[in-house]
């Protein structure tokens, strides 16, 4: 007996069940490292570095998190369209594993190809990364639709909470393990071979995520059998199969009254999953673009979230067995709503005299002479200021300021004479662009004067030591300046009355959110999947899971696009606030979901189809 097996099930069936779990373990390398942790902040950061903090499209402001939301929504559109038709076909032909294999290979290949993006200039890099994300996510999300459809054939309906919860637990465990490896490699620069989070380290992370997905996913293809088809069909051509699939989809829509409880649940799922999906998908990009979190903090936090989710998912399954799947799912949605409300109120504490939190930090050093912007030979009684940047981002101004993006134009005009020694004509930063790493006392005085005159930018400066000790400035668009948007009263209220008195910085706020999400994340997903399985006829599992996938992917399209529109028109915090409303509307439909009646209708459908007998 292994983790997640079912007592009383024979050895071969438990082996098939464990192999199904391993696919969750496998593709979480993409779901966690790639889709949740790395790509959102990398794509957001590359976009903002390329555009100088964002791009204006008409009256709309497209920031890094907004751009990522658009890409994420686009990535789900294809799956939303084809899932119901493929599901209907797969219920009439024994081809579930074949379809899953195609989706897996597509996902694996384009995940590995993402490793090219860090080696391109930021303008080309973010576009190539976005393209690979769209195609890679088609492989991941489309594969999950088919993967879920195996569930009703792995155990009886009474075991669905157990199966779904353990599947999620395997996934969180696998995703956490590979994320630990990636975190160690990233922080150490592959244990000293490269620099931390260098392009080659990022390439390693993408390629190993793809290898993890393919390698561990093979267990399902080897040991989990193709589900039985009660009355299999044969088609003369692919087009004939597609036409038949479309007819079956129309037929299912026509039978919506017959499956009334399931239809209400799907409507509810569309809404609450929209909220859950958007919280998970946008968290990293929101942290990077709006809160300016340390990129390493995102890795550590999301690792902690998933480690917390492993036992809590299993506990959630046990609670569902005791209190009911619908009730436990409702509790989880309540926690998610609280999380979204708090996230709107997250705010970096004002920088004040905390020198290390400023973007550009100048520290006075004695006995240094100056040439080409840096020290050469030591001379008596000569001092100057050495530049450091926040989070050591590429150890340079180049990691923060766009070379040509319109958003940073005013900053470049005002400050680059003090920050750049020489620059090439290239639109991208190169090794030939020389950063001024040290300032003479005269140059430091000139920069301080300019700091007092120009504030139309998104950065901050601080001097420590020497004649300029304590001189600081913060740009009007810096993340600590929260004003001008509809929801800004809430983070300012919390910062003044909660975060600041408790000295609760944005990193601690982020950890608090992560722990709350970790407690319910697996439970919400597992019980949502389990409840759907209970309400679904086993004889039409793939077709109905195709609709489940359609609803999930419709939410995955709808949620990020709504976020993008809200963020572009009303600000990122209002975009998060909209999530609360959506979750609560979906949760309110629970009062119309009679689980016992839904299970009865699904069972009768299986009897009518000859899938089970009256006695079973």
DSSP string, 259-270: THHHHHHHHHHH
**Which candidate, 468, 464, 463, 495, places its Cα nearest to that of 479?**
495
Any idea what the Cα angle at residue 167 is, between residues 270 and 537, rounded to 5°? Answer: 55
Q: Is the pLDDT of residue 593 over 80?
A: yes
Q: Can you give the residue ranges of every domain in the chain?
A: 11-225+255-349+505-608, 355-474
The residue ranking higher by pLDDT, 283 or 471, is 471
pLDDT (tens digit, 9 = 90+) per residue, 38-76?
888 888 888 888 887 777 777 677 877 788 888 877 777
At residue 541 the predicted structure's pLDDT band, cuts being 50, 70 and 90, is: low
Segment 12-35 mean pLDDT: 91
| The pLDDT value given to residue 86 | 67
- Interatomic CA distance for residues 200 and 546, integer angstroms: 38
Q: Is the pLDDT of residue 564 over 60?
A: yes
Structurally, what CATH architecture does the domain formed by 11-225+255-349+505-608 represent?
Up-down Bundle (1.20)
CA atoms within 13 A on the CB side of 58: 4
The residue ranking higher by pLDDT, 557 or 152, is 152
CA dihedral (485, 491, 497, 502) positive or negative = negative
- Interatomic CA distance for residues 368 and 370, integer angstroms: 7
The residue ranking higher by pLDDT, 453 or 62, is 453
Strands (DSSP E) contained in 381-469 are 383-389, 420-422, 434-435, 438-439, 460-464
- CB-CB contact of 180 with 92 (8 Å): no
pLDDT (tens digit, 9 = 90+) per residue, 168-225?
889 888 988 998 999 899 888 887 788 888 889 999 999 999 999 999 999 999 999 9
pLDDT (tens digit, 9 = 90+) per residue, 390-428?
988 766 788 889 888 888 899 999 999 999 998 888 777
- CB-CB contact of 20 with 148 (8 Å): no
Q: How many CB atoms within 10 Å of residue 451? A: 23
At residue 380 the predicted structure's pLDDT band, cuts being 50, 70 and 90, is: very low
- Interatomic CA distance for residues 538 and 418, integer angstroms: 69
- Interatomic CA distance for residues 240 and 452, integer angstroms: 72
Helix (H, G, I), strand (E, B) or coil at 319: helix
At residue 555 the predicted structure's pLDDT band, cuts being 50, 70 and 90, is: low
| The pLDDT value given to residue 378 | 43
Any idea what the Cα angle at residue 316 is, between residues 17 and 271, rounded to 5°? Answer: 95
| The pLDDT value given to residue 106 | 94
Any idea what the Cα angle at residue 270 is, between residues 160 and 250, rounded to 5°? Answer: 90
| The pLDDT value given to residue 218 | 95
- Interatomic CA distance for residues 149 and 605, integer angstroms: 17
Q: Is the pLDDT of residue 607 over 90?
A: no
At residue 372 the predicted structure's pLDDT band, cuts being 50, 70 and 90, is: very low
What dihedral do alpha carbons 326, 331, 334, 335 form, nearest 10°? Answer: -140
The proportion of the chain whose per-residue pLDDT surpasses 90, expressed as a percent, equals 31
- Find how far residue 74's CA is from the centre of its chain: 14
Helix (H, G, I), strand (E, B) or coil at 406: helix
- Relative to beta strand 434-435, strand 420-422 is antiparallel
Q: Is the pLDDT of residue 433 over 80?
A: yes
Strands (DSSP E) contained in 38-176 are 55-57, 60-62
Segment 238-247 mean pLDDT: 73
Look over the chain and give the mean of its residue pLDDT values, rounded to a whole number.
84
Mark 554-576 as b/e (b = at least 16 C-beta within 10 Å): bbbbbbbbbbbbbbbeebbbbbb
The residue ranking higher by pLDDT, 497 or 145, is 497
The residue ranking higher by pLDDT, 528 or 382, is 528
pLDDT (tens digit, 9 = 90+) per residue, 313-364?
888 888 988 899 999 999 999 998 998 899 899 999 999 999 999 999 999 9
| The pLDDT value given to residue 566 | 83
Q: Is the pLDDT of residue 528 over 50?
A: yes
- Relative to beta strand 434-435, strand 360-366 is unpaired
- CB-CB contact of 140 with 35 (8 Å): yes
At residue 377 the predicted structure's pLDDT band, cuts being 50, 70 and 90, is: very low
Q: Which residues contact 434 (CB under 8 A, 6 or more apart)?
A: 372, 373, 420, 421, 422, 423
| The pLDDT value given to residue 130 | 92
């Amino acid at each position: 007996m292994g983790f997640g097996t079912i007592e009383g099930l024979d050895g071969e069936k438990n082996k098939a069940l464990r192999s199904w779990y391993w696919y969750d373990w496998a593709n979480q390398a993409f779901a966690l490292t790639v889709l949740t942790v790395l790509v959102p902040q990398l794509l957001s950061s590359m976009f903002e570095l390329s555009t100088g903090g964002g791009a204006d499209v008409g009256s709309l402001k497209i920031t890094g998190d907004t751009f990522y939301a658009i890409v994420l929504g686009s990535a789900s559109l294809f799956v939303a369209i084809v899932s119901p038709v493929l599901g209907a076909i797969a219920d009439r032909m024994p081809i579930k594993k074949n379809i899953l294999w195609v989706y897996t290979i597509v996902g694996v290949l384009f995940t590995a190809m993402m490793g090219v993006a860090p080696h391109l200039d930021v303008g080309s890099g973010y576009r190539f990364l976005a393209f690979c994300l769209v195609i890679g996510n088609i492989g991941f999300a489309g594969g999950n639709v088919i993967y879920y459809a195996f569930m009703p054939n792995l155990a009886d309906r009474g075991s669905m909470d157990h199966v779904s919860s353990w599947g999620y637990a395997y996934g969180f465990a696998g995703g956490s393990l590979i994320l630990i490896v990636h975190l160690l490699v990233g922080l150490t620069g592959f244990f000293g071979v490269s620099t931390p989070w260098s392009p080659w380290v990022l390439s390693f992370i993408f390629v190993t995520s793809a290898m993890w997905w393919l390698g561990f996913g093979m267990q399902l293809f080897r040991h989990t059998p193709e589900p039985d088809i009660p009355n299999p069909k044969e088609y003369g051509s692919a087009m004939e199969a597609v036409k038949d699939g479309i007819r079956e989809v129309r037929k299912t829509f026509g039978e919506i009254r017959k499956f009334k409880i399931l239809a209400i649940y799907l409507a509810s799922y569309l809404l609450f999953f929209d909220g859950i999906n958007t919280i998970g998908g946008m968290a990293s990009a929101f942290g990077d673009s709006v809160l300016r979190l340390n990129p390493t903090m995102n890795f550590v936090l999301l690792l902690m979230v998933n480690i917390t989710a492993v036992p809590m998912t299993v506990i959630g399954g046990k609670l569902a067995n005791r209190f009911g799947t619908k009730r436990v799912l409702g509790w989880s949605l309540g926690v998610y709503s609280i999380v979204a409300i708090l996230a709107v109120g997250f705010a970096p504490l004002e920088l004040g005299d905390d020198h290390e939190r400023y973007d550009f930090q100048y520290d006075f050093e004695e006995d240094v002479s100056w040439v080409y912007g840096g020290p050469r030979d030591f001379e008596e009684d000569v001092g100057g200021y050495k530049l450091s940047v926040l989070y050591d981002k590429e150890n340079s101004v180049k990691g923060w300021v766009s070379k040509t993006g319109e958003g940073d134009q005013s900053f470049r005009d005002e400050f680059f004479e003090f920050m750049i020694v020489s620059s090439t004509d290239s639109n991208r930063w190169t090794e030939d662009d020389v950063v001024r790493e040290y300032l003479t006392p005269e140059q430091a005085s000139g920069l301080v004067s300019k700091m007092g005159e120009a504030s139309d930018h998104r950065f901050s400066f601080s001097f420590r030591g020497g004649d300029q000790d304590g001189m600081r400035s913060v740009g009007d668009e810096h993340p600590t300046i929260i004003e001008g948007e509809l929801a800004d009263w809430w983070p300012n209220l919390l910062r003044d009355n909660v975060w600041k008195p408790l000295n609760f910085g944005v990193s601690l706020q982020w950890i608090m959110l992560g722990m709350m999400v970790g407690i319910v994340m697996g439970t919400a997903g597992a019980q949502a999947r389990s409840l759907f399985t209970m309400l679904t006829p086993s004889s039409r599992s793939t077709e109905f899971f195709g609709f489940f996938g359609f609803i999930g992917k419709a939410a995955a399209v709808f949620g990020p696009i709504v976020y993008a529109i809200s963020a572009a028109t009303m600000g990122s915090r209002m975009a998060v606030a909209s999530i609360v409303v959506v979750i609560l509307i979906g949760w309110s439909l629970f009062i119309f979901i009679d689980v016992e009646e839904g299970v009865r209708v699904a069972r009768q459908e299986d009897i009518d189809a000859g899938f089970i007998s009256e006695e079973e």
